[in-house]
Amino acid sequence: MLMVPVLAQADPGPAAPGLNVYLPLVLLFVLAAGFAVFSVLLGPLVGPKRYNRAKTAAYECGIEPSPQPLVGGGRMPVAYYITAMLFILFDIEMVFLYPFAVNANALGVFGLVEIVLFIVTVGFAYAYVWRRGGLDWN
């Protein structure tokens, strides 16, 4: 019987993370780009074929378009635009609150003080808008 020496293999230890940790991110970008290209190419195929005045009119969020220019035709109502800006303001507030909610324990008292200051600042903005009548639909 022939004995062949077996070399002891050294334990390589934990594998160093390579570029494969970025694979889900790359796949997400590829999926987003594919969806964008698919949407752009599919739009003309499934879009309206017979155009009329109603289909080509601009949608103005409930504001009736008029043939008169706004220069001398009176004031343009801005309630929809103010509401949109307020939505963006408070939506951004929520975007800043999510990281705090995730890491509340790690941030400790410092994070609590910072988030309270942030909410108070946004609260002043909310009170200002409310007092100026920005939330009234009259």
Phi–psi pair at 112, nearest 5 degrees: -65, -45
Which one, of 60, 102, 21, lies nearest residue 94 by Cα? 102
Q: Does residue 14 form part of some domain?
A: no
* First-residue to last-residue Cα distance in the chain: 101
Residue with tokens 């889900």: 24
pLDDT tens-digit series, residues 45-85:
887 677 777 767 766 555 565 666 555 555 556 777 777 88
Flag whether 63 is in a domain.
yes
Query: pTM score, two decimals?
Result: 0.41
pLDDT digits (tens, 9 = 90+) for 14-36: 655 677 888 999 999 999 999 99
Report yes or no on 94 lying in a domain: yes
In Å, what is the CA distance from 20 to each residue of 44, 48, 124?
38, 44, 47
Domain residue limits at 81 = 22-132
Number of domains comprising the chain: 1
